[in-house]
Structure 1
Amino acid sequence: MILDTLLWPTGSFWTSAGLGLGLVLVAYTAASTIVSWHRLRHIPGPPGVGFSKWWMLRKTLGGNMHLATKAACREYGPLVRLGPNQLVTNDPEVLRRIWAVRSPYKKGPFYEAVRFNPERDNLISLRNDTLHAELRAKMANGYGGKDNEGLEAVMDKEILVFVDLIERKYISTATEYRPVDLARKVQYLTLDVITALAFSKRFGYTEQDEDMYSYIKITEDSMPVMMFLSIFPWLAKVLQSRVFRRLLPSEHDHVGFGRFIAVAKQIVGERLASDQPKRRDMLGSFLAHGLTREEAEGETLLQIIAGSDTTATALRTTLLYLMSSPATYRRLTREIRSAAAAGRISHAVATDAEARELPYLQAVIKEGMRINPPVAGTMDVVVPEGGDMICGYPVPAGTEIGCSEFGVQSLASVFGPDADVFRPERWLEAEADAQGGSEQGIERLRQMNLTWGLIFKAGKWQCLGKEVALIELNKVFVELLRRFDFTLVNASKPWHSINAGIFIQSGLYTKITRAEPL
């Protein structure tokens, strides 16, 4: 009997052993939580954030993380704790320093979630600084337009197709009412522009006037999942493993990201098999500067996603604020239409140089992007070995620190006490003060421009597509506002907008009429 008990322990033994193991796990978890809380206990933040990521998860899944970090920085200061190992800042000087070219800071686990193709990294998700710098150098000329002399001509063609779509289907008159979801149509335009620029093969969203391959729908469904994974990046690694990879987008899918993975592979394959693989477009430039087939496939996919969504957000957000600000709308349309009537704008499509000579337009574009930065994820980086002193707080190595872009762009110390208001005049006032020669005015304008530039990040992680995006914005605003007038259908609920790192926006129903003569 004793031997049987030793060989085959009773149920009470297993119960006791299980209870003991459970107590050990609880004790270990409690100790780890306390240690994690303790190392950043001196940095202020919302209640409970030092013990779990619940606050971050709730704000992210609610689609308002960008506003929550802005509010947190206003309440607790320029450096705020958001999680057990997560901080966020709205200090422009800190961001410029940690993003600098020679900064020892590295990209954090946050970026594991933005591997759009689970099989390989892209320029955004690549966390190795050396490899990132090498890849960036190969792509700089393509994004900068140096290897694409016809960049503006390509944009012009797509803009005219978009104008034709409005003329054919969405002009309202005294007898016909044709409301249109401008948020959706604008994204059709930006998708066609980026695909035409990137590899000379437009997808035809605008011509077809539909969501080809259900790309936009799948993107809207997928981005919140990616943001969930950005809160728990270890889950991204699990899903990207061979065991679970079949659950993620695949080139064998017929719609969504998977379809675009296949399209990217097809485009690169056809280009490499052609007699002119290095023709003068972005893809040709990338290949000419040494991108491998796999790298080109990854960057082609990134261009479609990042290059279309962010520019579309800048366009539709600024249009919404214009339609909501009658005085601003009238001043801008008067500037554009007067320039067109005086022959200072090309008859077909305005050039970038012509648009840059319209000061109020430039102020409106800056203000639209400032009031609603198109990219609003925290984009965490990791404090290097030895730790750092940030905003007066010692921060230990390994801590993740992100950016509150909405917090940065609403700083009253930089943009004035009405920084939360869409008011393009602030840029013209600052320029006038600077031109007056006062040191204070010069410094104010410099700080405004430097801070606004952080919308595109800075240093080693500055957005390569910045200049292409600004050219597109210049042209589109001129062509739309010299031809048409725009009116919100429902001012009390103008659209649906949530933040998932980038913005998912729809339902911007608008009445479009032909422009009233001056």
Structure 2
Amino acid sequence: MILESLLWPTGSLWTSAGLGLGLVLLAYITASTIASWHRLRHIPGPPGTGFSKWWMLRNTLGGNMHLATKAACREYGPLVRLGPNQLVTNDPDVLRRLWAVRSPYKKGPFYEAVRFNPERDNLISMRNDALHTELRAKMAPGYGGKDNESLEATMDKEILVFVDLIERKYISTDSEYRPVDLARKVQYLTLDVITALAFSKRFGYTEQDTDLYSYIKITEDSMPMMMFLSIFPWLAKVLQSPVCRRLLPSEKDLVGFGRFIAVAKQVVGDRLASDQPHRRDMLGSFLAHGLTREEAEGETLLQIIAGSDTTATALRTTMLYLMSSPASYRRLADEIRTAASEGRISSPVVTDAEARELPYLQAVIKEGLRINPPVAGTMDVVVPEGGDVICGYPVPAGTEIGCSEFGAQTLSSVFGPDADVFRPERWLEAEEQSHSEKGGDRLKQMINTWNLVFKYGKWQCLGKEVALIELNKVFVELLRRYDFTLVNPSKPWHSINAGIFIQSDLYTKITRAGPAKA
């Protein structure tokens, strides 16, 4: 019996052993939590953020992380603690320093969650600076006019298809009322534009007026999970492992995101097998400048997601603010219609150069992007070895620092006391004052801060100019032809943030445009 008791401990011994292990684990967790809190204890933030990620999780799942970080920066200052190892800043000068070309800062674990294809990194998710720089250099020419001479003509064609959709189905008259979810239709347009630009193969969302392959629905359903994974990056690595990969979208799927993985592979494969793999579009440019088949597949997929969702957000958000601001709407409509009647803009579609000569249009586009930046994830970077001093606070190496884009774009010190208000005139006023030394500094500061909407330095958005060309053309062609009215101003739409924005139910009445104001 004695030998048996030694070999096989009694129940009380197992209980004691388990209790001991539990106490050791509890002590370890407690010590780790206290050490983590102590490390950044000098940096202010909402209660409890030094001990857990609950504040981040709650606001992320609520779809309002962009507003929560903006409010936190206003309450606690330009550098705020959001989690045990997470900070956020709204200081434009700091953000430019963190994102500069020669900055020693690297992308943080946040980016593990935005590997759209679990098998490989894309330009956004890639955290190795050397590889990122090399890939970016190969892709940059594809976003410029030299390698894509038909860029404007391709956009023009898609915009006219969109106009045709409105003409066929959504014009309201005195006898017919045809409300339309403008948020969804605009995304059909941006999807067709980016697919036509990327690989000369449009999907036909606008013509068919439907969510082909349920791509939009499934993508919108999956984005909140992606943001959840950005808070717990280790989970993203688990899901992307070979064991769990079957749970993620696959090229074998007939609908949703997986369908686009399959389409990207097919398009790249067909192009490489063709007689003209380097034709003058984005995909041809990528291949001509050395992208491998796998890289081209990944970046084509990235273009569809990043190029369509963000531009759609800029279009529908700015349209909502215009419809909610009668004076701004009327001024822009009059500028466009007067230019059309005087022959200063081309028909049937304005050129980018002509649109850039319309000052109020440019002010509206800047203001729309400023008041609601299309990308609003924190996009954390990691403090390099040796630590740093940020906003006057010493910050140890390894700390993750994110961006409050909404906070930066509504700084009263940059944009004036009414920075929370959609008022395009602020850009014209700054331009008029720019002749004085003080006014010039103000305009420069506004533009430098606004440019952060597209990030900066080594991570600046390659599609910036393409997006601005599209915005120029679409706003002119819509307001040249039509007038837009909100169906329900008290609840104009549904909008949540999941890194990018998920927006729907922007129900609008579209009527034919009236004459320009004399």
TM, length-normalised to structure 2: 0.99
Give the letter for the 2:505 counterpart: G
Q: Is the 8 A contact 1:375 1:455 kept in 2?
A: yes
The count of aligned residue pairs is 516
Which residue is 1:485 aligned to? 483
CA–CA separation in structure 2 for the residues paired with 1:31 and 1:244:
32
CA RMSD of aligned residues (A): 0.4
Give the letter for the 2:405 counterpart: E
- 1:347, CA displacement in angstroms? 1.4
User: How far does the alpha carbon of each residue in 1:286-317 deviate from its partner, in whole angstroms, 9 at most, with x for none?
Assistant: 00000000000000000000000000000000
Which residue is 1:498 aligned to? 496
CA–CA separation in structure 2 for the residues paired with 1:97 and 1:225:
30
Give the letter for the 2:130 counterpart: T
Question: 1:53-68 alignment to 2 at 5 Å?
Answer: 53-68=53-68
- 1:81, CA displacement in angstroms? 0.2
User: How far does the alpha carbon of each residue in 1:56-102 deviate from its partner, in whole angstroms, 9 at most, with x for none?
Assistant: 00000000000000000000000000000000000000000010000
Give the letter for the 1:464 counterpart: L
User: How far does the alpha carbon of each residue in 1:317-342 deviate from its partner, in whole angstroms, 9 at most, with x for none?
Assistant: 00000000000000000000000000
Q: Is the 8 A contact 1:387 1:394 kept in 2?
A: yes
Which residue is 2:473 aligned to? 475
Is the partner of 2:497 in helix, strand or coil?
Answer: strand
- 1:427, CA displacement in angstroms? 0.2
CA–CA separation in structure 1 for the residues paired with 2:506 and 2:221:
19
User: How far does the alpha carbon of each residue in 1:99-125 deviate from its partner, in whole angstroms, 9 at most, with x for none?
Assistant: 000000000000000000000000000
Which residue is 1:459 aligned to? 457
User: How far does the alpha carbon of each residue in 1:449-500 deviate from its partner, in whole angstroms, 9 at most, with x for none?
Assistant: 0000000000000000000000000000000000000000000000000000
Question: 1:339-378 alignment to 2 at 5 Å?
Answer: 339-378=339-378
Q: Is the 8 A contact 1:67 1:406 kept in 2?
A: yes
Of 443, 446, 454, 1:445 maps to 443
Which residue is 2:303 aligned to? 303
Which residue is 1:278 aligned to? 278
Which residue is 1:19 aligned to? 19
Residue range with higher mean Cα deviation, 144-153 or 495-504: 144-153
Give the letter for the 1:474 counterpart: N
CA–CA separation in structure 2 for the residues paired with 1:372 and 1:72:
17
Give the letter for the 1:260 counterpart: F
User: How far does the alpha carbon of each residue in 1:268-288 deviate from its partner, in whole angstroms, 9 at most, with x for none?
Assistant: 000000000000000000000
Unpaired runs of 5+ residues, structure 2, are none
Q: Is the 8 A contact 1:383 1:400 kept in 2?
A: yes
Which residue is 2:198 aligned to? 198
Which residue is 2:229 aligned to? 229
CA–CA separation in structure 2 for the residues paired with 1:233 and 1:145:
38
Whether 1:379 aligns to 2:374 is: no
CA–CA separation in structure 2 for the residues paired with 1:7 and 1:413:
74
Which residue is 1:411 aligned to? 411
CA–CA separation in structure 2 for the residues paired with 1:38 and 1:411:
30
CA–CA separation in structure 2 for the residues paired with 1:76 and 1:181:
39
CA–CA separation in structure 1 for the residues paired with 2:26 and 2:171:
65
CA–CA separation in structure 1 for the residues paired with 2:20 and 2:144:
63
Which residue is 2:220 aligned to? 220
CA–CA separation in structure 1 for the residues paired with 2:111 and 2:5:
54
Q: Is the 8 A contact 1:144 1:464 kept in 2?
A: no
Which residue is 2:42 aligned to? 42
CA–CA separation in structure 2 for the residues paired with 1:334 and 1:465:
30
Give the letter for the 1:112 counterpart: E
CA–CA separation in structure 1 for the residues paired with 2:515 and 2:69:
45
CA–CA separation in structure 2 for the residues paired with 1:159 and 1:66:
31
- 1:146, CA displacement in angstroms? 2.2
Which residue is 2:428 aligned to? 428
Give the letter for the 1:503 counterpart: F
CA–CA separation in structure 2 for the residues paired with 1:513 and 1:261:
39
Q: Is the 8 A contact 1:145 1:468 kept in 2?
A: no
Is the partner of 2:496 in helix, strand or coil?
Answer: strand
Identity %: 88
CA–CA separation in structure 1 for the residues paired with 2:33 and 2:121:
32
Question: 1:240-251 alignment to 2 at 5 Å?
Answer: 240-251=240-251
Give the letter for the 2:69 counterpart: T
Give the letter for the 1:477 counterpart: F
- 1:438, CA displacement in angstroms? 1.4
Question: 1:106-121 alignment to 2 at 5 Å?
Answer: 106-121=106-121
User: How far does the alpha carbon of each residue in 1:181-222 deviate from its partner, in whole angstroms, 9 at most, with x for none?
Assistant: 000000000000000000000000000000000000001100
Whether 1:122 aligns to 2:149 is: no
Is the partner of 1:511 in helix, strand or coil?
Answer: strand
Unpaired runs of 5+ residues, structure 1, are none
Give the letter for the 2:231 counterpart: I
Is the partner of 1:402 in helix, strand or coil?
Answer: strand
Q: Is the 8 A contact 1:165 1:206 kept in 2?
A: yes
Residue range with higher mean Cα deviation, 355-364 or 140-149: 140-149
- 1:504, CA displacement in angstroms? 0.2
Question: 1:252-267 alignment to 2 at 5 Å?
Answer: 252-267=252-267
CA–CA separation in structure 1 for the residues paired with 2:254 and 2:32:
45
User: How far does the alpha carbon of each residue in 1:373-394 deviate from its partner, in whole angstroms, 9 at most, with x for none?
Assistant: 0000000000000000000000
CA–CA separation in structure 2 for the residues paired with 1:513 and 1:489:
12
CA–CA separation in structure 1 for the residues paired with 2:88 and 2:217:
31
Which residue is 2:163 aligned to? 163
Give the letter for the 2:59 counterpart: K
Is the partner of 2:163 in helix, strand or coil?
Answer: helix
- 1:8, CA displacement in angstroms? 1.3
Which residue is 2:99 aligned to? 99
Residue range with higher mean Cα deviation, 460-469 or 138-147: 138-147
Give the letter for the 1:448 counterpart: M
- 1:367, CA displacement in angstroms? 0.2
CA–CA separation in structure 2 for the residues paired with 1:82 and 1:134:
33
User: How far does the alpha carbon of each residue in 1:227-280 deviate from its partner, in whole angstroms, 9 at most, with x for none?
Assistant: 000000000000000110000011001111111100000000000000000000
Which residue is 2:139 aligned to? 139
Which residue is 1:28 aligned to? 28
CA–CA separation in structure 2 for the residues paired with 1:3 and 1:198:
76
Is the partner of 1:82 in helix, strand or coil?
Answer: strand
Give the letter for the 2:457 counterpart: G
Q: Which runs of 4+ in 1 moved over 3 A?
A: none
Which residue is 1:182 aligned to? 182
Q: Is the 8 A contact 1:85 1:400 kept in 2?
A: yes
Give the letter for the 1:330 counterpart: R
Give the letter for the 1:334 counterpart: D
- 1:144, CA displacement in angstroms? 2.0
